[in-house]
């Protein structure tokens, strides 16, 4: 019998090739004339191309249900992030911070305003909700402001969270997001005792980092690097990660930024654009730029990172790693912005210092700017059922199903991308994006296409990308 087509999307990738992508994200490049023959059902039964497309579930040529059952299994695997419901629980223990970062997406307050601290009762009630989640493995991330300014609450959350997890025989992981400036020996000993991971910020070499992240004494970089070394000695090298934020100052220094991550011994870095929230929005005239400027920076920095890997230094670009994992494996990544529906509320949730609950950190930031549309409830007034089953979260989830969004539904990259209704609302006032003018779309479409082009370029780049997917340095090739 002649073959029949299974659902897929396609993109004229370049002048010579068409990319086809099926519902589970498997893909294949075809010459344009072969694509025409494929869709016209004119491929010979014994052609290698037909066999390749059949193996990847772009077509079927029998009455057996097996191809559909296998395709369904792959689709369930891609959507497995939905199984456990909310696994990441973010606690904002204080809005206080001693840094004055111009791009900060949090509406921080000065370090003496303790009324912006989370109380013991609020922390306890927030933990009550976190442990109502059906997720088999919980991750508690403690943020600020600067959480080390309210270390008593950090201590309570970790001790109480560990006790509850042990009693319930549930796995739990703790991360404290800190600028490291206030880290002391007592804190380090406590973090070591409880197996805590630290996440910090590194924007590049000292001059750039200090310009982006000013603090009294203008010593942000030196404090961070000194305490980074101490934290690694006590906790272990792999228990301290760093993120960078790209400002207008950063755009001219991709090589220097990558060099600094290499110099400090990091094995990963996350190239992030500015976010349209909090102080970052207020200072956009000083620190902001067009998305195209960020993408030019991203390409230059990624080239530097690939070059370091080619010369023997293992360094992952984390956003590329997330996308490559989605493109080349059947597994979900858990990154809330690259999911459909998005992970806001159903994958991650935020408990603010005042007990208000938000579907994402971004929706909390909008509330700090005066717009509480995405507030799910409050731990002192509302139940787990009303917070996680209420109309607000249902609306967010419905608006984040990319398969139903005009402009996303027919995009070839849909199985690898996601949706972010909070970002859409913050930038346009609408939960649904206007895809042709969306920064979110522009960034992801460009980076996905660029990664595919690099992957197709040569064997060395493919080897590097697969080492990132596996999260391990590539083995040296055997010499005959």
CA–CA dist 173, 268 (Å, integer)? 20
Which DSSP string do the residues of 89-146 spell out, in sequence order? EEEE-B-B-S---TT-SS--B-TT-GGGBPPHHHHHHHHHHHTTS--SEEEEEEESS-
Instruction: Return all residues near 401 (Cβ < 8 A) that are at least 6 apart.
Output: 340, 341, 419
Q: Are 143 and 279 members of one domain?
A: yes
Examine residue 346 and state whether it is found in any structural domain, yes or no: yes
* 227 within 8 A of 184, measured Cβ to Cβ: no
In whole angstroms, what separates CA 20 from the centre of its chain?
25
Distant-in-sequence, close-in-space partners of 283: CB < 8 Å, separation ≥ 6: 102, 103
Identify the CA nearest to 113 among candidates 98, 91, 128, 131. 98
405 located within any domain: no
- Whole-number Å distance between alpha carbons of 386 and 302: 44
pLDDT of residue 478: 39
H/E stretch holding 431 reads: none
Pair (52, 156) in one structural domain: no
- Residue 106: the pLDDT is 52
CATH value at residue 193: 3.20.20.70
Domain final position from 38, 57, 78? 78
Write out the E strands in 265-320.
268-269, 271-272, 316-317
User: Are 156 and 281 in a shared domain?
Assistant: yes
Instruction: Clarify whether residues 41 and 131 are in a common domain.
Output: no
- The dihedrals phi and psi of 26, each to the nearest 5 degrees, come to -70, 145
Alpha helices, H only, 389-429: 391-399, 421-428
- Please tell me the predicted confidence (pLDDT) of residue 216: 87
CB 419 within 8 A of CB 413: no
pTM for this predicted structure: 0.92
Whether residue 226 is contained in a domain is answered as: yes
One domain for residues 31 and 112: no
Tell me the C-alpha distance between 333 and 37, whole Å.
Answer: 35
Between CA 9 and CA 23 the distance in angstroms is 8
Residues 134, 183 within the same domain:
yes
Q: Which residues pair with 109 in a beta bridge?
A: 96
Q: Is 429 left (phi over 0), alpha (psi -120 to 50) or beta?
A: left
Q: How many whole angstroms separate alpha carbon 443 and alpha carbon 441?
A: 5
Query: Which residue is it, tokens 């077509």?
Result: 59
Query: Residue 455: which H helix or E strand, with range?
Result: helix 439-457
The number of CA neighbours under 13 Å toward the Cβ of 70 is 13
Query: What SS3 class is residue 328?
Result: helix
Q: Both 18 and 103 in a single domain?
A: no
Same domain, 284 and 358: yes
Q: Are residues 186 and 205 in the same domain?
A: yes
Contact by Cβ (8 Å): 180, 200: yes
Residues 69 and 167 placed together within one structural domain of the fold: no
Q: Give the position of tokens 């549930």.
A: 170
Q: What is the pLDDT along the chain (480 residues), one digit of tens a residue?
A: 589 999 999 999 999 999 999 999 999 999 999 999 999 999 998 899 999 999 999 999 888 888 889 999 999 998 888 888 999 999 999 999 988 787 775 554 555 567 899 999 999 999 999 999 999 999 999 999 999 999 999 999 999 999 999 999 999 999 999 999 999 999 999 999 999 999 999 999 999 999 999 988 889 999 999 999 999 999 999 999 999 999 999 999 999 999 999 999 999 999 999 876 654 445 555 667 999 999 999 999 999 999 999 999 999 999 999 999 999 998 888 888 899 999 999 999 999 999 999 999 889 988 888 899 999 999 999 999 999 999 999 999 999 999 999 999 999 999 999 999 999 998 899 999 999 999 999 999 999 999 999 999 999 999 999 999 999 987 655 333
The reported pLDDT for the residue numbered 107 is: 53
Is 207 a member of any domain? yes
Q: Is 378 within a domain?
A: no
Residue 43 lies in a domain: yes
Domain, as residue range, for 249? 84-368
Asked if the structure places residue 143 within a domain, the reply is yes
Distance CA 120, CA 383 (A): 19
4: Cβ contacts below 8 Å, ≥ 6 apart:
41, 59, 60, 61
Hey, is 463 helix, strand or coil? helix
Residues 281 and 337 grouped into a single domain = yes
* Pick from 367, 357, 411, 424: nearest CA to 387: 357
Cα torsion through 408, 412, 416, 417, rounded to 10: -20
Number of domains in the chain: 2
Tell me the backbone φ, ψ of residue 103, rounded to 5 degrees. -95, 5
Q: Pick from 78, 102, 137: which residue ends a domain?
A: 78
Phi and psi torsions of 32, nearest 5°: -55, -40
pLDDT of residue 101: 82
Residue at a domain's end among 60, 78, 96: 78
Is 385 within a domain?
no
**Do 40 and 64 have their domain in common?**
yes
């Amino acid at each position: 019998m002649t073959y029949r087509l299974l659902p897929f999307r396609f993109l004229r990738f370049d002048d010579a090739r068409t990319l086809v992508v099926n519902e589970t994200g498997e893909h294949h490049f075809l010459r344009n004339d072969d694509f025409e023959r494929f869709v016209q059902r004119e491929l010979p039964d014994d052609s290698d191309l037909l066999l390749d497309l059949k193996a990847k579930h772009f077509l079927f040529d029998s009455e057996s249900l097996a191809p559909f059952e296998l395709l369904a299994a792959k689709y369930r695997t891609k959507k497995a992030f939905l199984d456990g419901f909310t696994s990441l629980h973010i606690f904002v223990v204080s809005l206080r911070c001693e840094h004055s970062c111009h791009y900060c997406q949090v509406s921080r307050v000065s370090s003496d305003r303790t009324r912006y601290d989370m109380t013991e009762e609020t922390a306890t009630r927030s933990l009550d909700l976190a442990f109502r989640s059906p997720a088999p493995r919980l991750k508690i991330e403690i943020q600020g402001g600067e959480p080390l300014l309210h270390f008593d609450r950090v201590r309570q959350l970790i001790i109480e969270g560990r006790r509850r997890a042990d009693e319930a025989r549930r796995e739990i992981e703790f991360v404290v997001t800190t600028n490291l400036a206030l880290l002391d020996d007592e804190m380090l000993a406590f973090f070591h005792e409880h197996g805590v991971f630290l996440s910090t910020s590194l924007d590049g070499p000292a001059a750039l980092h200090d310009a982006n992240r000013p603090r009294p004494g203008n010593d942000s970089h030196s404090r961070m690097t000194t305490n980074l070394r101490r934290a690694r000695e006590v906790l272990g090298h792999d228990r301290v990660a760093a993120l960078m934020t790209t400002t207008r100052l950063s755009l001219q220094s991709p090589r220097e930024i990558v060099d600094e991550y290499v110099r400090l011994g990091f094995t990963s870095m996350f190239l992030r654009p500015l976010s349209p929230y909090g102080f970052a929005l207020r200072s956009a005239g000083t620190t902001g730029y067009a998305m195209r400027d960020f993408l030019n920076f991203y390409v230059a920095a990624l080239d530097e990172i690939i070059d370091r890997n080619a010369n023997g230094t293992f360094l992952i670009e984390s956003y590329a790693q997330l996308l490559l994992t989605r493109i080349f494996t059947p597994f979900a990544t858990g990154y809330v912005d690259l999911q459909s529906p998005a992970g806001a509320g159903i994958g991650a949730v935020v408990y603010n210092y005042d007990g208000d609950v938000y579907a994402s950190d971004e929706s909390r930031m909008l509330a700090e700017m005066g717009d509480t549309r995405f507030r799910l409830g409050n731990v002192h007034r509302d139940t787990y059922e009303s917070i996680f089953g209420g109309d607000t979260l249902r609306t967010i989830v419905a608006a984040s199903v990319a398969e139903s969004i005009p402009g996303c539904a027919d995009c070839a990259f849909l199985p690898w991308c996601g949706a972010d209704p909070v970002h859409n609302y913050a930038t346009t006032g609408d939960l649904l994006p206007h895809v042709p003018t969306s920064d979110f779309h522009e960034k992801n479409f460009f980076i996905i296409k660029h990664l595919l082009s690099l992957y197709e370029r040569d064997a060395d780049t493919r080897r590097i990308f697969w080492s990132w997917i596996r999260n391990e340095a590539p083995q040296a090739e055997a010499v005959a």
